[in-house]
Amino acid sequence: MESTPPREVCLCIALRRATRAATRFYDDCMKGTGLKVTQYSLLANIDRAGSIKITDLARKVDMERTAMGRNLSLLEKKRLVHAEGEEGDLRGKLYSLTKAGRSCLEAARPSWRKAQTEMRRKLRNHEFPALEAVAGIILGKDV
């Protein structure tokens, strides 16, 4: 009777799994806001930036540019953001929030807050910073 060696957990898969669970949780908390946590976050980013180009926003959050473009298109279709040509550069487009986008963002804040607080509660003080550290290390920069 030979004992099987302890199976090593794939770090990437563990991350994906935790991410699925966390996303389901946040999205569930945000039901009724009309936003998913990913969209909420994008709006918040654009809001902080004032106006920003697809490429810059993608770089800022380590996302593939074309993926970001498609995400922004969805928000644009919902009239939460709008793009306008950049002054003196026919290539770039600057994205910014519409009035509806700002309202929507503000209206969703409490739901996000609720999810975030609950998540902080689950992760005791010990693990919360660890997670940020992990994310930072994987990305090679601060989160």
Residues between 38 and 57 that touch DNA (CB under 7 A): 38-39, 53-56
Nearer to a copy of itself, 7 or 91 (CB): 7
Residues between 109 and 138 that touch DNA (CB under 7 A): none
Q: DSSP letter at 102? A: H
Q: How far is the CB of 26 from DNA (least distance, A)?
A: 10
11 near a copy of itself, judged by CB under 8 A? yes
Q: CA–CA separation, 16 vs 104, rounded Å?
A: 28
Pick what 43 binds: a copy of itself, DNA, none; C-beta below 5 to 8 Å, kind-dependent.
none
Question: What is the DSSP track for 14-58?
Answer: HHHHHHHHHHHHHHHHTTTTT--HHHHHHHHHHHHHSSEEHHHHH
Q: How far is the CB of 28 from a copy of itself (least distance, A)?
A: 11
Say which residues have a Cβ less than 8 Å from residue 123's Cβ, sequence separation at least 6.
Answer: 131
140 near DNA, judged by CB under 7 A? no
On whether the CB atoms of residues 101 and 77 are closer than 8 A, the answer is no
The bridge status of strand 81-86 relative to strand 52-53 is unpaired
Nearer to DNA, 65 or 102 (CB): 65
16 near DNA, judged by CB under 7 A? yes
55 near a copy of itself, judged by CB under 8 A? no
Q: Nearest-CA neighbor of 108 among 46, 21, 27? A: 27
Question: Contact residues for DNA (CB under 7 A)?
Answer: 16, 20, 23-24, 27-28, 36, 38-39, 53-56, 63-67, 69-71, 74, 83, 86, 88-94
